[in-house]
Structure formats: C-alpha cells, structure tokens
Amino acid sequence: MKFGCRFRCSPRSAVVALWLACSSALSAQDSAVEIRGQTVRTIPIALSGFPDEVRKILEFDLYVVGFEVASAKPQYRLTGTVQGEVRGTLADANTQTALFSRAYPGGTTRAQAHALANDVVKTLLQLPGIAQTKIAFRNLPGGRNAKGETISEVWASDYDGANGVALTADNSISFGPSWVPGQLKLFYTSFRAARPEIYLQDLRSGDRTRIFSFPGTSSSPAVSPDGRQVVMVLSRSGSPDLWIANVDGSGLKQLTTTKELEASPCWSPDGRTICFTSADSGRPTLYTIPATGGAMKRLNTGGVTQCTEPDWSPDGKWIAFTRAAGEFTLYVMPAGGGSAEAVVAGEDPSWSPNSRTLIFTRRAGAERRLSLLDVPSRHVKDLSRISGSCSQPSWAR
Amino acid sequence: MKSFLSRAVLFLVAVSLVGGSVGCSKKPKNLTPLPAGQSGAPAPTDSVPLEGTGGTSPGAGRLPGSENGVGGTDLSNGGGLGLGDQGLNPNLDARNKLENREIFANDNVYFDFDKFNVKPQYMANITKVADYLKAHPTDSLLVEGHTDDRGTEEYNLALGERRAQSVRDRLVSAGVSGDRITTISYGKEKPAVIGNTEEAFAKNRRGVFVLLSNPAAIQ
C-alpha cells in the first residue's frame, strides 16, 4: 500500500511541494471562518452510487467541513462509482449542472476518496481540502511503567485517525508533539532518559535527535512557520519561562522572565509574534510577545478567564484556546483579542491548514478522544480509529 | 526507624545535574508495532526510507482541477517510521544515583489549587529535609512537583515544575546549596491517587522528596 502523488519527482520533494502548494493557496484566499454575526450554516449534499467503504469516507470528509450529507433537499449531488478507481461527478442539484467529473487513479481507495472530497471542498468552498492532511498526537494506552509514570507515546496518523502509527515505544511519558511546518518531522518532549527532554524525530528515517536537555522542565516545543526556530518552555532560569532557539539547538535565548510560569506557546503565521499562557496575573492568561524578544502584552479575551493552550490560525485571523475551568471549553476569538466565543466542550485546539476546522481533545468518561470541530457549522466528529486515550493533537501544516 | 537502606526502593537513575544542549542521533534499531486491534495501518516492518519504496505518480496529469491529487504521504507502510533507540549519551554529565523514596515518604509538601507557594505548615518538613542534607553532605536531592488532574497537560507540567522550584527555594533558604537539588515535574502524569474527588486532587498536588545517594558512599 502506498500513496502516489501527482508530481513527477522524488517522494521527498513531492511532499514538500504539496505542502508548499497548500500554503500558497492558503495565503491567497480569505478565511472561511466567520463566527460572529454569522448564522451557522451547513450545505446539504446527496451522495449516491458509492460503495459503503467509500461513502463512509466521503461522509466523514464532507461532514467535518460543514456539509450535511444525505439531506432530503440537497443543494448538490455527488454521484460516483468505484471500478478499479474512484470516479465522482459533482452537480448542482437544482440546475443539474455538472461542476466537475473526475477519476482518481492510483493510491489506495481511501486516498482516492479523500482526493474526491478535497475537490468538492475546493469547488464549493474555494478552500484547500483537509482530507489528505496528517496529525500527530499523544496516545495513552493505559497503565504505568515501573516508575509510576502514566505511559504515553507519540503517534501520527491521517487527519481522520486512519493509518495511525506509533512513533515512540519508550514506555515512558512522551508529550506534546509539534510538527516542523512543511516537513515530516516532529518535536516532542520525552521523559525516557529520567527527565523531560526535547527531541526532534524525522518520520521518514526514524532518526531522532535530542535537541534540548536541561535540568528541570523542557517542554511544549512549537516550531516557527518558516521551520527555522523553536519556542519552548524551559525552567533553567528558576521558573518555567519561554525560550527560543534555532531548530538545531543553537542560539538559545530567553524570552520571558516572570517568576510565575509560562506554558503552551504558539506562533503567529507571519512568525513575528508568539502567543502563550502565563500565570503572571495569578491565573492562566493569554499573552503575546515578539519572537525577537520584548515586553509581554496581555491579550483581551473578552472577560473569559483561565485561558490556556492558544493556537493561531494559519490565515492569521483567529486564536483558538482552552478555558481551563470546570468542564474545559474551546473558544475562538479574533487574533488581536476581543470577544471570545465558546465553540465546544474540550481542550487542546489545533487549527487545520485551511483555518476552518479544529482538532481537539474531548473528555469521554475517564478517557479522552480526539475530535474535529468545523467552526462555521459547529459540526463535531470523533476520530474513532485510535484505541486508548488520546490528547495533544497537532495538525501538520 | 529501620535502616533506610533496607526499606529503600533503590533505582539506579541517571540524573544529569549539569545543563547543556546535547544532541545525539542514531539510526533506528527497532520499529513500533501497532497496538492490537488497530485498523488501517500495517505495522512498519522495515526502516527503508520512503525514497527506497519506489513509486509512481498515479495522479499526474489526471487531476487538473485537484490541488492535492491523490497524493499525500503514507505514514504507515514502509515509510521508515520508527525510532532511534539510543540510550543516554554516556558523555552526558550523568551520575548514577541510588534513589531513596522512603526516607522522606511522609514529608510531602501539599499545595493549594493552581498555587505553588509552600504553606507554613510544611516548613517543618522543609527543615527536616534540609537538616538531613546538611548532615549528609555527599547526598543530593530530587524534588518532584505534581499537580491534580484539573489543569491542562502542558500547563500542569509547568505548574509542577514551579512547585518543585518553590520547594527547592525553601531548602536553599534553609541553608542547602542549590546545586545539590534537582527538580523534575510530572504535571498530572504521575498521580499518587486516582480519582476526581477533592480529596484525590489534594493528595496529588504535592512536592515529593527523593534522596539521591552516591552508590560508592553507601557501600
């Protein structure tokens, strides 16, 4: 089983080219996420002709970008067949006008179905699809090791949970995976060597390198949009502060100097600003700081308190975050601050590359599950293919 | 009191007390099988890189309207996914220590919710540990910081560290040299008590003292 690609070049450069193509498309188009003042809206679409296996994939892919599948009064019809390859025709249900009709040869049937879903999204939403994107996350299979640590490993999978692979097998605490943008590489924290250290792992070769190892805590790495720098939490100065360095570990520099704690940094898509949580005011609050250093600036979260785990949308317009009080709640607000809107019960949001959908962690009894939220439609769908508790999703972008 | 040696749960732990940015890299020796019951992804069996799996461009020229085509990267099969399994770099300034969790097992420091200040009622524990360290100059100390289950995972890792550092600061104020004290945070990853009751939360918001002894000194 192997996915192909449409570029006639080496797989490595093809992957990078795909991501770059996706990024440029993103920067060229406006955000589809309009929350405030907008009626939550879904698009009814009817599917016909597809075998169950493909239909289920299409239903998932379309639901999590706001389509309502199998509607009695569809606005669009997607018909197709699978005869060696997936073929699909999208038509306007009222005018019967065909919008496209395509075949998807090569690769797995799953990959073909995802490509068809992406074409529907591109045609009707004028957005790059997310159906062929990747995620990384933390998996907690249950149980503890001899040291009493709750065992967790870092995994990667397709965005819907399919094709999941454990990237670590350390029988220790693996924590907080963060993609290097545009590359199949992940930073994460591991306790495997008796204290938390930050590793960089190449998913293609399996090589991993210990990049940051200091007394105390080293955690929460987040890579800059240009892939050159990493911001993280280190406690080597006496309290957990933000530090920034080049991805090879050189050029380490302290960004925050509070006596309280900082946590969960993320980058603005232009790479100029870092948004993070600080307990500087006595409880978790969102702040920004220039990536080159400077003063911390408190973000106005519209009166919402206990704010943590910010993630900046790739189009630059929104910040999603967790309100860590009671039953945790995800909020979305304009990136400059202002009125924050509660969108779903959950924590740990990470934006899709097209700035429309969030992946997050949802509590289900004693377990935690990864789930997708389409922000405009409020559609929520669990990733059901991963066994065990999962948390800390990071969307490759 | 029993000899702490007889009671101690002793682990040889490598605790690096000196900072520094350390890089090491090694080719993977083994690969990670999927847990039983996983669907959709065969376990990687080899570490052949993607470049070695050959391949075609099945979508080339056939999907003019598709931004992504049928492409994408299969993470699950023959993609060289795995892990380098290097051990601790022996050049790390690591020292093998005997870890004694029993000697101060009843001297934990407990914290209020989302706080890291050491409350007055725990100063006696701080003094006891400080006095022991002053009387045993070859021993050192690991302070573990823990949280309850209520914060987020990343925040709690930072909060646990801040708690451990508060405890260390108190020990330093009590006359112990700071370079004898290492901190580690487990956040909510190593609870003392499982449960979502206030009682369980209170028992989990703790600082734990682990005595580290030089094996040679004990023998």
Contact list in A for residue B68 (CB cut-off 8 A) is: 6, 18, 21-22, 115, 118, 128-129, 132
Q: Please answer whether residues B175 and B130 qualify as being in contact, where contact means their C-beta atoms are separated by less than 8 angstroms.
A: yes
Grade residue B216 by pLDDT with cuts at 50, 70 and 90.
low
**Residues B30, A322: C-beta atoms closer than 8 Å:** no
DSSP H/E element including B157: helix B153-173
A23, part of any domain = no
Pairing of strands B109-110, A86-92: unpaired
Instruction: Clarify whether residues A306 and A283 are in a common domain.
Output: yes
B12, part of any domain = yes
- What average pLDDT score do residues B93-98 get? 61
Contact list in A for residue B75 (CB cut-off 8 A) is: 134, 156-158, 163, 165, 184, 203
Average pLDDT, chain B: 68
A380 alpha carbon, distance to own chain's centre: 15
For residue A37, the distance in angstroms to the closest alpha carbon of chain B comes to: 30
Contact list in A for residue B206 (CB cut-off 8 A) is: none
B39, part of any domain = no
Instruction: Clarify whether residues A219 and A277 are in a common domain.
Output: yes
* SS3 category, A174: strand
Report the domain count for chain B.
2
- What average pLDDT score do residues A336-347 get? 96
B177, part of any domain = yes
B97, part of any domain = yes
Confidence check: pLDDT of A136 > 60: yes
Instruction: Clarify whether residues B134 and B105 are in a common domain.
Output: yes
Q: Residue A364 carries which DSSP code?
A: E
**Residues B150, A156: C-beta atoms closer than 8 Å:** no
Q: Which of A140-154, A373-387, B77-91, B109-123 has the lowest mean pLDDT?
A: B77-91
For residue B128, the distance in angstroms to the closest alpha carbon of chain A comes to: 23
Chain B residues 137-176 within an 8 A CB cutoff of chain A: 150-155, 157-162, 164-165
- Look at residues A99, A125, A151 and tell me which one is the last residue of a structural domain: A125
What CATH number has the domain bearing residue A389? Answer: 2.120.10.30
Instruction: Clarify whether residues B110 and B58 are in a common domain.
Output: no
B185, part of any domain = yes
Average pLDDT, chain A: 89
Selected residue with higher pLDDT from A247 and A10: A247
**Residues B23, A209: C-beta atoms closer than 8 Å:** yes
Dihedral angle sign, alpha carbons of residues B21, A202, A23, A329 = negative
A12, part of any domain = no
Instruction: Clarify whether residues A211 and A343 are in a common domain.
Output: yes
B203, part of any domain = yes
Residue B88 has a pLDDT of 37
Instruction: Clarify whether residues B190 and B162 are in a common domain.
Output: yes
A178, part of any domain = yes
**Residues B47, A206: C-beta atoms closer than 8 Å:** yes
Q: Please state, for a pLDDT cut of 90, what percent of chain A lies above it.
A: 83
Residue B17 has a pLDDT of 37
Instruction: Clarify whether residues B173 and B194 are in a common domain.
Output: yes
Contact list in A for residue B44 (CB cut-off 8 A) is: 165
Instruction: Clarify whether residues B152 and B209 are in a common domain.
Output: yes
- What average pLDDT score do residues B38-62 get? 28
Report the domain count for chain A.
2
Domain extent for B81: 26-34+50-85
Grade residue B89 by pLDDT with cuts at 50, 70 and 90.
very low
Grade residue B75 by pLDDT with cuts at 50, 70 and 90.
low
Instruction: Clarify whether residues A289 and A360 are in a common domain.
Output: yes
Residue A387 has a pLDDT of 82
**Residues B79, A203: C-beta atoms closer than 8 Å:** yes
Contact list in B for residue A184 (CB cut-off 8 A) is: 73, 75
Instruction: Clarify whether residues B69 and B170 are in a common domain.
Output: no
Nearest CA in chain A to B19: A214
B66 interfacial to chain A (CB closer than 8 Å): yes
B17, B71, B83: residue with CB nearest A14: B71
- What average pLDDT score do residues A6-12 get? 31
- What average pLDDT score do residues B184-210 get? 95
B196, part of any domain = yes
Residue A381 has a pLDDT of 96
Instruction: To the nearest 10°, report the CA torsion of A278, A279, A285, A291.
Output: -10
Instruction: Clarify whether residues A184 and A69 are in a common domain.
Output: no
Residue A29 has a pLDDT of 31
Instruction: Clarify whether residues B107 and B74 are in a common domain.
Output: no
Domain extent for A54: 43-125
Confidence check: pLDDT of A177 > 60: yes
B193 interfacial to chain A (CB closer than 8 Å): no
Strand segments, DSSP code E, in B52-203 are 83-84, 94-100, 109-110, 140-146, 181-187
B118, part of any domain = yes
Confidence check: pLDDT of A366 > 70: yes
- Look at residues A125, A156, A186 and tell me which one is the last residue of a structural domain: A125
Instruction: Clarify whether residues B13 and B59 are in a common domain.
Output: no
Angle at A123 between CA A117 and CA A124, to 5 degrees: 90
Contact list in A for residue B51 (CB cut-off 8 A) is: 10-12
Instruction: Clarify whether residues B58 and B146 are in a common domain.
Output: no
Instruction: Clarify whether residues A151 and A71 are in a common domain.
Output: no
A102, A169, A392: residue with CB nearest B32: A169
Selected residue with higher pLDDT from B17 and B144: B144
**Residues B71, A4: C-beta atoms closer than 8 Å:** yes
Instruction: Clarify whether residues B106 and B159 are in a common domain.
Output: yes
CA distances from B176 to B109, B134, B135, B139 (A): 17, 7, 10, 11
- What average pLDDT score do residues A246-259 get? 96
Instruction: Clarify whether residues A279 and A207 are in a common domain.
Output: yes
Instruction: To the nearest 10°, report the CA torsion of B142, A192, B162, A140.
Output: -130
**Residues B155, A385: C-beta atoms closer than 8 Å:** no
- Look at residues A105, A125, A145 and tell me which one is the last residue of a structural domain: A125
B121 interfacial to chain A (CB closer than 8 Å): no
B9 interfacial to chain A (CB closer than 8 Å): no
A26, part of any domain = no
pLDDT in tens, B22-44: 444 433 333 333 333 333 333 22
Instruction: Clarify whether residues B151 and B213 are in a common domain.
Output: yes
The span from the CA of B163 to the CA of B167, in Å, is: 6
Nearest CA in chain B to A1: B77
Instruction: Clarify whether residues A144 and A229 are in a common domain.
Output: yes
For residue A334, the distance in angstroms to the closest alpha carbon of chain B comes to: 22
What CATH number has the domain bearing residue A84? Answer: 3.40.50.10070
B52 interfacial to chain A (CB closer than 8 Å): no
Q: Would you state the structure tokens that stand for residue A285, as one six-digit string?
A: 């609050």
**Residues A156, B81: C-beta atoms closer than 8 Å:** yes
Selected residue with higher pLDDT from B15 and B184: B184
A25, part of any domain = no
The span from the CA of A383 to the CA of A364, in Å, is: 13
Instruction: Clarify whether residues A62 and A139 are in a common domain.
Output: no
Choose the most confident range, by mean pLDDT, from A254-258, B12-16, B97-101.
A254-258
- What average pLDDT score do residues B71-97 get? 41
Confidence check: pLDDT of A12 > 60: no
What CATH number has the domain bearing residue B213? Answer: 3.30.1330.60
User: How does DSSP assign B65-77, residue by residue?
Assistant: T-SSTT----SSS
Grade residue A282 by pLDDT with cuts at 50, 70 and 90.
confident
A237, part of any domain = yes
Chain B residues 69-108 within an 8 A CB cutoff of chain A: 69-84, 87-89, 92
The span from the CA of A56 to the CA of A109, in Å, is: 12
Contact list in B for residue A14 (CB cut-off 8 A) is: 57, 71
**Could you report how far apart the first and last alpha carbons of chain A are, in Å?**
24
B179 interfacial to chain A (CB closer than 8 Å): no
- What average pLDDT score do residues A195-223 get? 95
Instruction: Clarify whether residues B59 and B125 are in a common domain.
Output: no
